[in-house]
Structure 1
Amino acid sequence: MSRPDPPTETLGPDDPTWSAQPTYSNLGEVRAHLLPSKACRPRTTGSLSTDPQPLPPPLPKKTLARAHSLPTHKTLVPSPAQAGQPQRPLLGSLSVDKSLVGGDEAGRTSPPAELTFSTPDAELGRFFHDLRSPEAVHTVLAARHLEGLCTIHARLRARFMGGRPGPCSPGHSFRLLDSSPCADGGDALYYRVVRVDGEAWHTLAAKVPKTEAEDPNPWGLELQASLAPHFNLQGLCGLLPQGALTAAPWRGSVALTVEVPERTAAQWLAEVGARRPAGFVRDAALLLLQLSAALQRLEARGAALAELRPENLLLAAPRGCTGAGPPRLLLADFGRVRPRAPGPPGPHAPQLGRLLRALLGPAPPLATPLAAGLERLAAQLPRARPSAAQTRGALQALLWGPGPELHGLGVPLGSWLQVRRALLTLHLAERAAGGEAPGLEDWLACEYLAEATEASLGRALALLWD
């Protein structure tokens, strides 16, 4: 029986754009080794590679005439397309009188690259046009706050997503760090493995399928191998060949994962939920926010998770962060991912509602404003059936605002957004001055305020409070 090919990824209006990163090309046998070995079924080797899309024809060359205006702003590096951010607003251009344009020296003069604290007073007019106009100053500063958040978000993303190992090659050697698994997922055990390539080494995880687990869906495993790197989706980087580790407590080749999990969401809930430390509800909301981001990517690819199981939601320490703070969530159960059937826009909403109820079960209702908002969202998910992107927007609003007190009062949400962007920028600067490095929650907050629009805020408030 033939299997449907993984659908082409299309992003909706609520989906953030991510930087295009290359997928690993040596994963042809990964799917077969993610299937648990059983006596009644021989192993097969399948190819996960996808046919490359043909390149578009080259654009015709155009002859550019001399521009009669000078742009007052250049895109910062990295650019929005590289950093996975929305396009930043242009601050306008300053018309130049032709009589003022002199020879080659004048033609080589360029405006400042960006508005910074060190921008000379004589050049401020290029950005503000009229410093005597408070409205003009406010507009430019609001755009600069957005630029700053986009830059901070891009740098934090590079830190948290950086250091990814390349694909495996025959010259690599491997070492087993522990004889016992570092994490016990619902469908697999994970062992820490070091991959050595000359002077370079990477700590990876060997994903060993459990023989008693249900047969995974090959379509979902092929989809996993075709996805671009995502912060909340388990990444693959090749195979650990059979015989590479003589002391390995498993047989045959197994898949290698980029991220090394520490425990599962089910274990976290059993350990932390029982004693309910300070910040438990907020950490639960941040984990659910990351899960909705992972499900948003699946929905964009026309896929859905048949069953959401906490034991297959892996938790790992984010790169570049201290031990404190929320963990990184990884969706790993691609064996239960299938093509999305026609139906309501939110195929995962009922499952997210049940998971949210399980997280909030030990908590007294209405204990805090955030807990009250999560209770409200848990009731709305099975009724409204929002998409994962809409659920993510509602969780962002519960974590960082706007609150219900602004809903229905006619307060311009665009003004609230500008104020919060400025306050977050100042907050991060104050902490940096004290030597405190930004954490995962700071990055998620930057991502929210950099992507949010007045319309998206309105949709989030309507889902929560209408």
Structure 2
Amino acid sequence: MSSPELPTEAPGPDVPRWAAQPTYSNLGEIRAHLLPAKACRSRASGSLSTDQESSPPPLPKKTLARTRSLPPRVAGTPSPNPGQPRRRFLGSLSVNESWAGAHKAGLACSPANLPFEWPDAHLDLSLRDLSRLEAVDAALEARQLKGLHTMHARLKARLLGGHPGPCHPGHSFRLLDRSPCVESGDTLYYRMVRVDEEAWHVLAAKVPKPGTKEPHPWGLELQASLPPHFNLQGLCGLVPEGALPDTPWRGPVMLTAEVPERTVAQWLAEVHAQRPSELAWAIALMLLQLSAALEHLEDRGAVLTELRPENLLLAVPRGCPTHGPPRLLLADSGHARPQPPGLPGTHALQLGRLLHELLGPSMPVATPLALGLRHLAAQLLHLRPSAAQTRCALQTLLWGPGPELNSHTAPLGSWLRVRRTLLVLHLAERAAGGEAPGLEDWLCCEYLTEATEASLGHALALLWH
């Protein structure tokens, strides 16, 4: 979590309070800018004359159209109030900016973001192509896929943004709580604040439990060398010994970028009251994120020797509501080893057993998703697919296609085009209602931007053959 330096006083008047009060402007000041300048209007202040002939004739009455009389703010236009810095309009209606901004938004945005305000040539279609349905379909499909890539990239930037980076000697530290926020199988996590001259970050101190096995140095070096990944715990360095007085631990400890909320084992003990369909959906989303983390490790020639619910962490994704799907963090890199050559699917057995444990004996198989998860667990133990293949199968269980398209002659390409169209419409409808996309939307965007007819066919074959 990243934020400016810790505030010491209440925010000043320049801080927008969009939910509580709109921004209003002085209409008199705006109208003064609209009146034409006249040379004969120069008069000494205080020389008020009663001579009506010397006064300038009255201005003709004119009806001013508000949408035309309130020009938009563009670069180089002075603010009506010179003493107040110009702020970027964020959402609340203001007379001087929102009316004009709604009609002239193209002046404040790059042309690439507003294709509908550009001529027909932007469609990359000639007049002859408009009469050919296949050319129109190809242009729309390409533009749709490009839009999904853009949405996926922007959501990823929001969900992964604000990474605190490594520690340096100028940092100072503060312990927020003397009791751990989360206790995993091998580790205690304490909330901390790291402060430098420009920013502060809420991080977690990762303190090994007494008597736990020493982590393997190869796995720790691997974790420290990996670039930031949404489902892998990120390290930010060490809290030096003596940097904090009277800590609940001794010696230097590692700092992690994300503060966990609970473990998967704790979550599983709390969710038995959920409906079976919601529970199966949440399990599938968590296992999807876990398979993405394991795929990242397999791509780098690493295998995790232990997968346990008590060592899998859950955190609230950045910019998402707390009641939404959690972010899963794989934090057990000390148990990573080099992957033996020629053994694909090294995590399949552990994933299959973990899925059986998450579903539990009491999970009914009446819902299609629960039935599909049980079938996937059996396939993991039998076929031993890679983590990438497991991730594709979980995406298919969550968002389709269903088993009815499990054939070599099924129109998977047509299904994919329709599914992309429905996702774009779904996100647009929610955005029009003011709802921001979240973790599940990003994961679905990722699926539909990467999916091909071949990958859909392989996922269906793994699930239902």
- Could you say which TM-score interval applies, normalised by the shorter chain? 0.7 to 0.9
2:310 paired with 1:304: no
CA contact (8 A) 2:125 2:136 kept: no
- State the SS of the aligned residue for 2:130: coil
CA contact (8 A) 1:179 1:249 kept: yes
Please state how far the C-alpha of 1:176 moved relative to its aligned partner.
Answer: 0.6
Q: Which amino acid aligns with 2:267?
A: W
The aligned residue for residue 361 of structure 1 is 360
The aligned residue for residue 213 of structure 1 is 212
Using the alignment, how far apart are the partners of 1:148 and 1:142 within structure 2?
Answer: 10
CA contact (8 A) 1:115 1:127 kept: no
CA deviations 1:99-149 (Å, max 9, x no partner) are xxxxxxxxxxxxx85882223235545478611111110111011111111
CA contact (8 A) 1:183 1:190 kept: yes
Please state how far the C-alpha of 1:315 moved relative to its aligned partner.
Answer: 0.5
The aligned residue for residue 243 of structure 1 is 242
CA contact (8 A) 2:189 2:204 kept: yes
Superposition TM-score, scaled by structure 2 size: 0.74
Unaligned runs of 5+ in 2: 1-110
2:439 paired with 1:440: yes
Using the alignment, how far apart are the partners of 2:250 and 2:113 within structure 1?
Answer: 57
Q: Which amino acid aligns with 1:208?
A: V
Q: Which amino acid aligns with 1:162?
A: G
Structure 1 segment 116-131 matched on structure 2, within 5 A: 116-121=115-120, 123-126=122-125, 130-131=129-130
2:391 paired with 1:397: no
Using the alignment, how far apart are the partners of 2:276 and 2:370 within structure 1?
Answer: 14
Using the alignment, how far apart are the partners of 1:277 and 1:433 within structure 2?
Answer: 31
CA contact (8 A) 1:129 1:136 kept: no
Using the alignment, how far apart are the partners of 1:303 and 1:152 within structure 2?
Answer: 31
Cα distance change of structure 1 residues 125 and 359 upon mapping to structure 2, 3 Å threshold: closer
Structure 1 segment 36-51 matched on structure 2, within 5 A: none
CA deviations 1:202-253 (Å, max 9, x no partner) are 0000001112111211111111111111000000011111111113111111
Q: Which amino acid aligns with 1:262?
A: E
The aligned residue for residue 381 of structure 2 is 382
CA contact (8 A) 1:156 1:443 kept: yes
CA contact (8 A) 2:124 2:139 kept: no
Using the alignment, how far apart are the partners of 2:319 and 2:388 within structure 1?
Answer: 27
Instruction: Report which of the two structures shows the higher radius of gyration computed on alpha carbons.
Output: 2
The aligned residue for residue 72 of structure 1 is none
- State the SS of the aligned residue for 1:427: helix
Cα distance change of structure 1 residues 122 and 215 upon mapping to structure 2, 3 Å threshold: closer
Cα distance change of structure 1 residues 195 and 464 upon mapping to structure 2, 3 Å threshold: same
Please state how far the C-alpha of 1:380 moved relative to its aligned partner.
Answer: 0.5
CA contact (8 A) 1:115 1:144 kept: no
Using the alignment, how far apart are the partners of 2:179 and 2:154 within structure 1?
Answer: 36
Q: Which amino acid aligns with 1:234?
A: Q
Structure 1 segment 290-439 matched on structure 2, within 5 A: 290-408=289-407, 410-439=409-438
Using the alignment, how far apart are the partners of 1:128 and 1:413 within structure 2?
Answer: 31
Using the alignment, how far apart are the partners of 1:358 and 1:129 within structure 2?
Answer: 60
CA contact (8 A) 2:215 2:335 kept: yes
Using the alignment, how far apart are the partners of 2:353 and 2:264 within structure 1?
Answer: 14
- State the SS of the aligned residue for 1:130: helix
Using the alignment, how far apart are the partners of 1:208 and 1:194 within structure 2?
Answer: 16
Using the alignment, how far apart are the partners of 2:121 and 2:252 within structure 1?
Answer: 66
Structure 1 segment 22-421 matched on structure 2, within 5 A: 116-121=115-120, 123-126=122-125, 130-273=129-272, 279-408=278-407, 410-421=409-420
Aligned residue pairs: how many?
355
Using the alignment, how far apart are the partners of 2:246 and 2:275 within structure 1?
Answer: 40
CA contact (8 A) 2:203 2:257 kept: yes
Q: Which amino acid aligns with 2:392?
A: G
Please state how far the C-alpha of 1:275 moved relative to its aligned partner.
Answer: 5.3
Cα distance change of structure 1 residues 298 and 189 upon mapping to structure 2, 3 Å threshold: same
Superposition TM-score, scaled by structure 1 size: 0.74
The runs of at least 4 consecutive aligned structure 1 residues that moved more than 4 Å come to 112-115, 125-129, 274-278
Using the alignment, how far apart are the partners of 1:135 and 1:149 within structure 2?
Answer: 21
Cα distance change of structure 1 residues 449 and 357 upon mapping to structure 2, 3 Å threshold: same
Cα distance change of structure 1 residues 119 and 223 upon mapping to structure 2, 3 Å threshold: same
Cα distance change of structure 1 residues 423 and 376 upon mapping to structure 2, 3 Å threshold: same
Range moving further from structure 2, 363-372 or 147-156: 363-372
- State the SS of the aligned residue for 1:191: strand
Using the alignment, how far apart are the partners of 1:344 and 1:310 within structure 2?
Answer: 25
CA contact (8 A) 1:394 1:463 kept: yes
CA contact (8 A) 2:312 2:328 kept: yes
Range moving further from structure 2, 404-413 or 150-159: 404-413
Cα distance change of structure 1 residues 175 and 277 upon mapping to structure 2, 3 Å threshold: farther
The aligned residue for residue 451 of structure 1 is 450
Using the alignment, how far apart are the partners of 1:464 and 1:278 within structure 2?
Answer: 19
Q: Which amino acid aligns with 2:294?
A: L
Using the alignment, how far apart are the partners of 2:249 and 2:425 within structure 1?
Answer: 52
- State the SS of the aligned residue for 1:193: strand
- Aligned-pair Cα RMSD in Å: 1.7
Please state how far the C-alpha of 1:278 moved relative to its aligned partner.
Answer: 5.7
Using the alignment, how far apart are the partners of 2:171 and 2:285 within structure 1?
Answer: 37
CA deviations 1:162-197 (Å, max 9, x no partner) are 011121111111111111101111121100000111
The aligned residue for residue 91 of structure 1 is none
CA contact (8 A) 2:408 2:457 kept: no
Using the alignment, how far apart are the partners of 1:165 and 1:322 within structure 2?
Answer: 21
CA contact (8 A) 1:127 1:140 kept: no
Cα distance change of structure 1 residues 129 and 220 upon mapping to structure 2, 3 Å threshold: farther
- State the SS of the aligned residue for 2:147: helix
Q: Which amino acid aligns with 2:205?
A: A
CA contact (8 A) 1:273 1:362 kept: no
Using the alignment, how far apart are the partners of 1:129 and 1:230 within structure 2?
Answer: 46
CA contact (8 A) 2:276 2:367 kept: no
Identity, in percent, stands at: 71
CA deviations 1:46-80 (Å, max 9, x no partner) are xxxxxxxxxxxxxxxxxxxxxxxxxxxxxxxxxxx
Using the alignment, how far apart are the partners of 2:394 and 2:343 within structure 1?
Answer: 20
CA deviations 1:416-458 (Å, max 9, x no partner) are 1111111101100000000111010000000000011111111
The aligned residue for residue 7 of structure 1 is none
